[in-house]
Structure 1
Amino acid sequence: MADPIHERDATGKALDLVAEAAAPYLESLTTRPVSDPGAEESLGELGGPLPEHGDGTLAGVSRLLRTGTRAATHSAGPRFFHFVVGGATPAALAGDWIASLLDQNPGNWAASPFGTQAETVVLGWLKDLFGLPESYGGVLTTSATSANFTALSAARFWWAERHGVDVTVDGLAGLPPMPVFSSGYVHVSTRKALQMLGLGRDTVRRFARDDAGRVDLPALDRALAETDGPAVIVANAGEVNTGDFDPIDEMAELAERHGAWLHVDGAFGLFAALSSRARHLVDGIERADSVISDGHKWLNVPYESGFAFVRDAALLGRAFGAWDAPYLPGDGDDHVNYQFLGPDSSRRARALPIWATLRAYGREGYRAMVERHLDLAAHLGRLVEEAPDLELLAPVRLCVVCFRYRRPGIEDLDALNTRLGAELLADGRVFAGTTVYRGMTALRPAIVNWRTTEADVELLVSIVREIGSRLTA
């Protein structure tokens, strides 16, 4: 095979192959292991030298489907509890296929009015869903990390401007370090964003009052008072080990008192706003200068999806726009051009799966899903407390349950749980890795997948206890 122009008629047949494989694969997710211990053997089918003459459309697609459905980690299923990973709702998956079919570039209005308008609509819907003011500016990103990068870029512009510098034009040279303060809950994605912004990964000062990382507000207050010039505060809505929250409202008070920028990293915790039972955890969110969240977590849309919101809508354009390229939209263009509001120029129409799922299930559907997951996390917490060989390490606050395995006569519980975590992932029936919480090695399964049921969390407990019982110190 050679030039794809000779295979124009194969497109429909290739898509038929994917569609025919999709239904049985998706149906299998409710029962199949998350990973197949023998899957790595299939990975070799991806390799080999670059073909001089290709296999052709149908042969190439068939091979990828065959290898992928065997070798992929089946993280879209209901028993992938590792990290914080959602699935893709039926509507979101179909919306993602539509995004690939139409292949839009909503970087600017001229390239895709349809993609641009879809992004504008879903940003408005998301602000409504989370209780953010309609006036906030926003942009869709690839992930929570890129959303943190986007929002903190706006914060960096704001901070530099208060030092009399247009950092977009002139850079950071000659400026002092930008003060960034947080609790012990600050996530690595925030630190990575600061690293990419040239502000330093390890410059965040953490104010924690205990070894769990809960914020020390009086110490933070004193540090802000002693800081020369403006600072940035990072509040964390949903800590990865336990699902705990910083007190956003109280941190907003400090930000207003000291003239600081308040950024809220709500990668998954922002979805607490959807439930009347958990809404108090994000009290004060509407007072933040910037807020981010992640779509491929609790929104359950396919990768890659994140969103960043900024109180001063003009700051995104000032941080990312004004390229002065004659072939791009410039001054006088009244349309929104998202390539000037975030780091991506050419951009996938990532609004389409979000539009599809929000249109399909609405506020009430997502409220019901979030509250069902809250119930499942509470149920898992009770199962842990009732089991004589399990220990709950933190209260269940949202969708993450932090616990460890223990057995009489074994003193080194960290080594035991490290081995258990490795065995659990190798076993593959359920997926939940380890973390270190308050100096203890622990499991921290997260429940955000729309498919997950009570039977799935009960299976997790059963398998953890089964594997643990056959391990020795």
Structure 2
Amino acid sequence: MTDADMAPLDLAYHQATEYLAGLARRPVGATANAEQLLKMFGGPLPSGPQPATETIGLLGRAVAEGGIPAASGPRYFGYVTGGTLPVAIAADWLVAAWDQTASLYNLSPAIAVAEHVAGQWVLELLGLPEGASVGFPTGCTMAHLTSLAAARHQLLARAGWDVERDGLPGAPRVHIVAGAQHHMTIDLAARYLGFGSGGIHNVPVDGRGRMRPDALAGTLATLDGPVIVCAQVGDVNSGAVDPVGEICDIARRHDAWVHVDGAFGLWAAASPRLRPLVTGIEKADSWALDAHKWLNVPYDCGIVVVAHPEAHRAAMLNERAGYLPAGTPGERDAIEWVPDFSRRARSLPVWAALRTLGRAGVAELVERCCDLTARFAERLAGVPGVELLNEVVLNQVMVRFGDDDTATREVVARVQESGVCWFGGTVWQGRAAMRVSVVNWRTTEEDVDRSVDVIRNAVLAVLPAG
């Protein structure tokens, strides 16, 4: 490579490290509008080559002029997005530089082995079955799709139907059962797989958003044929955890497959203190979670775990094209476990994060976020006009202001406009609320306290005195 080739890489490295070093000082929300950004990025396609450093410089300008929020900073609490551990960013840079297709062992042996090791570490860390298969899809949506595809294969094979060959027309109907507050990604997976989202049987939940076992038993008693039960570990609003062990016991009596949506909450299993919240998760048949949330690795990286490897493999790769080598014992081919083929080595930052943090480091990260969430709840409870809407179970807390939808939304808007911190709005049991999600390794007690002060000032400005 020439000096000219290296120049944009050097500039990008400088811009990236400068951005990361200044995250705590940046306005948390984006400030540029669509018109400004279109003017910056748009215009006609250049008629000829442009200097690469000019292109990279334009990206840096977009950051400097408020084109992206500081979503990986310590006071971004709007979504369950996580941050990025430095070692995971570094590994991700290498992933891009190495430019490996992480689909087959013979395309990148080192990455294939590192991915296998990362998968085994995930099983060990979360207490999932030792013989389970693991894949690294783009996120939890595709982890759900992979899990439900494996369930579809196994359940219909029991009925004598080859769904990979013959499709769904004419097949026995597969019922999907989920809590009434299941995440929308379950619906997406059901749509993609041909089940349709409209036929999902929604089981009533309790006041915290947890599936009721008695209601599940009643629902299952009305169904004939194959059934997939989707449990949830970590409600996206309240953080509530379904009683997964009890759900598995009930489902077993109906020969149902149990899938666990653990997008962020399943990481609680890594903590000795929080592990009791997920008692019985090892009884399930499949699990889906995100690494780019609580493990704090870059997007896009989900994790799928299936307790039945043959069903998992059959759902993903039934036959190989002639140009693909047959699998060799001891050599793991990633295409057997995920839907995508030409895929980046997204598992390498997971390997790097787990090796660097170790078991104790992951537990500390999860527990610290939960403790900071509890601090949010405790301090906000002392602010007049603030109503806490949920018991803090993990890293989620919801609040409402003045018991009024309009006031609540106005407070949220003022907080977002402050630039100090960023929270998102939500709707809980028909009422507007503000959601707090703490899932970033950078967040400190000082960040919590500073954010609470901003919320208090917004409440004082919106709600009438007295």
Query: 1:48 aligns to what?
Result: 43
- Check if 1:11 corresponds to 2:44: no
- Residue segments in structure 1 that go unaligned for 5+ positions in a row: 1-6, 407-411
Query: 1:422 aligns to what?
Result: 413
Query: 1:30 aligns to what?
Result: 24
- Greater shift in the superposed pair: 18-27 or 90-99: 18-27
Indicate the SS of the match to 2:409.
Answer: helix
- Check if 1:467 corresponds to 2:458: yes
Counterpart of 2:14, as a letter, is: E
Counterpart of 2:210, as a letter, is: R
The total of aligned residue pairs comes to 462
- Residue segments in structure 2 that go unaligned for 5+ positions in a row: none
Query: What is the CA–CA distance in structure 1 between the aligned matches of 2:218 and 2:14, rounded to whole Å?
Result: 62
Q: Which TM-score applies when normalising by structure 2? A: 0.95
Indicate the SS of the match to 1:445.
Answer: strand
- Check if 1:439 corresponds to 2:435: no
Indicate the SS of the match to 1:233.
Answer: strand
Indicate the SS of the match to 2:121.
Answer: helix
Which residue of 129, 132, 135 maps to 2:131?
A: 135
- Greater shift in the superposed pair: 29-38 or 250-259: 29-38
Offset of residue 297 of structure 1: 0.5
After TM superposition, list the pairs within 5 Å mapping 1:86-165 onto structure 2. 86-165=82-161
Q: Structure 1, residues 232-279: CA drift from partner, whole Å, max 9, x if none?
A: 111100001110000000001012111110000000000111222211
Given that 2:173 and 2:226 are in contact with CA atoms closer than 8 Å, whether structure 1 keeps it comes out as: no
Counterpart of 1:51, as a letter, is: P
After TM superposition, list the pairs within 5 Å mapping 1:395-406 onto structure 2. 395-406=391-402
Offset of residue 43 of structure 1: 4.6
Given that 2:27 and 2:69 are in contact with CA atoms closer than 8 Å, whether structure 1 keeps it comes out as: no
Query: What is the CA–CA distance in structure 2 between the aligned matches of 1:242 and 1:118, rounded to whole Å?
Result: 35
Q: Which TM-score applies when normalising by structure 1? A: 0.93
Query: 2:442 aligns to what?
Result: 451
Indicate the SS of the match to 1:232.
Answer: strand
Query: What is the CA–CA distance in structure 2 between the aligned matches of 1:446 and 1:452, rounded to whole Å?
Result: 11
Query: What is the CA–CA distance in structure 1 between the aligned matches of 2:330 and 2:87, rounded to whole Å?
Result: 32
Counterpart of 2:20, as a letter, is: L
Given that 1:148 and 1:292 are in contact with CA atoms closer than 8 Å, whether structure 2 keeps it comes out as: yes
RMSD of aligned residue pairs (Cα, Å):
1.8
Indicate the SS of the match to 1:110.
Answer: helix
Query: What is the CA–CA distance in structure 2 between the aligned matches of 1:424 and 1:36, rounded to whole Å?
Result: 13
Offset of residue 329 of structure 1: 2.5
Indicate the SS of the match to 1:263.
Answer: strand
Q: Structure 1, residues 92-124: CA drift from partner, whole Å, max 9, x if none?
A: 110110111111111111211122111111011
- Greater shift in the superposed pair: 434-443 or 243-252: 434-443
Q: Structure 1, residues 14-41: CA drift from partner, whole Å, max 9, x if none?
A: 2211222223211211122112424653
Query: 1:3 aligns to what?
Result: none
Indicate the SS of the match to 2:260.
Answer: strand
Offset of residue 132 of structure 1: 0.8
Given that 1:184 and 1:212 are in contact with CA atoms closer than 8 Å, whether structure 2 keeps it comes out as: no
Query: What is the CA–CA distance in structure 2 between the aligned matches of 1:398 and 1:368, rounded to whole Å?
Result: 13
Given that 1:25 and 1:69 are in contact with CA atoms closer than 8 Å, whether structure 2 keeps it comes out as: no
Q: Structure 1, residues 441-467: CA drift from partner, whole Å, max 9, x if none?
A: 111110000000112122222222222
Query: What is the CA–CA distance in structure 1 between the aligned matches of 2:453 and 2:310, rounded to whole Å?
Result: 53
Indicate the SS of the match to 1:116.
Answer: helix
Query: What is the CA–CA distance in structure 2 between the aligned matches of 1:91 and 1:172, rounded to whole Å?
Result: 44
- Check if 1:336 corresponds to 2:327: no
Offset of residue 52 of structure 1: 1.3
Given that 1:322 and 1:330 are in contact with CA atoms closer than 8 Å, whether structure 2 keeps it comes out as: no
Offset of residue 163 of structure 1: 2.3
Counterpart of 1:348, as a letter, is: R
Percent of aligned positions that are identical: 39
Counterpart of 1:49, as a letter, is: P
- Check if 1:66 corresponds to 2:57: no
Query: What is the CA–CA distance in structure 2 between the aligned matches of 1:11 and 1:299, rounded to whole Å?
Result: 34
Counterpart of 1:24, as a letter, is: E
Query: What is the CA–CA distance in structure 2 between the aligned matches of 1:139 and 1:332, rounded to whole Å?
Result: 18
- Greater shift in the superposed pair: 56-65 or 364-373: 56-65
- Check if 1:356 corresponds to 2:352: yes
Indicate the SS of the match to 2:180.
Answer: coil
Given that 1:118 and 1:352 are in contact with CA atoms closer than 8 Å, whether structure 2 keeps it comes out as: yes
Which residue of 210, 214, 218 maps to 1:214?
A: 210
Which residue of 229, 239, 242 maps to 2:225?
A: 229
Indicate the SS of the match to 1:141.
Answer: coil
Counterpart of 1:10, as a letter, is: A
Q: CA separation of 1:49/1:32 partners in 2, compared to 1, >3 Å: closer, same or farther?
A: same
Offset of residue 331 of structure 1: 6.4
Query: What is the CA–CA distance in structure 2 between the aligned matches of 1:374 and 1:60, rounded to whole Å?
Result: 41
Query: 1:253 aligns to what?
Result: 249
Given that 2:101 and 2:345 are in contact with CA atoms closer than 8 Å, whether structure 1 keeps it comes out as: yes
Which residue of 182, 186, 194 maps to 1:186?
A: 182
Counterpart of 2:455, as a letter, is: V
Q: Structure 1, residues 359-380: CA drift from partner, whole Å, max 9, x if none?
A: 1111111111111111101111
Q: CA separation of 1:332/1:285 partners in 2, compared to 1, >3 Å: closer, same or farther?
A: same
Counterpart of 2:243, as a letter, is: P
Indicate the SS of the match to 2:287.
Answer: strand
Query: What is the CA–CA distance in structure 2 between the aligned matches of 1:208 and 1:442, rounded to whole Å?
Result: 22
Query: What is the CA–CA distance in structure 1 between the aligned matches of 2:130 and 2:459, rounded to whole Å?
Result: 50
Q: CA separation of 1:217/1:469 partners in 2, compared to 1, >3 Å: closer, same or farther?
A: same
Given that 1:42 and 1:67 are in contact with CA atoms closer than 8 Å, whether structure 2 keeps it comes out as: yes
Query: 1:394 aligns to what?
Result: 390
Counterpart of 1:459, as a letter, is: R
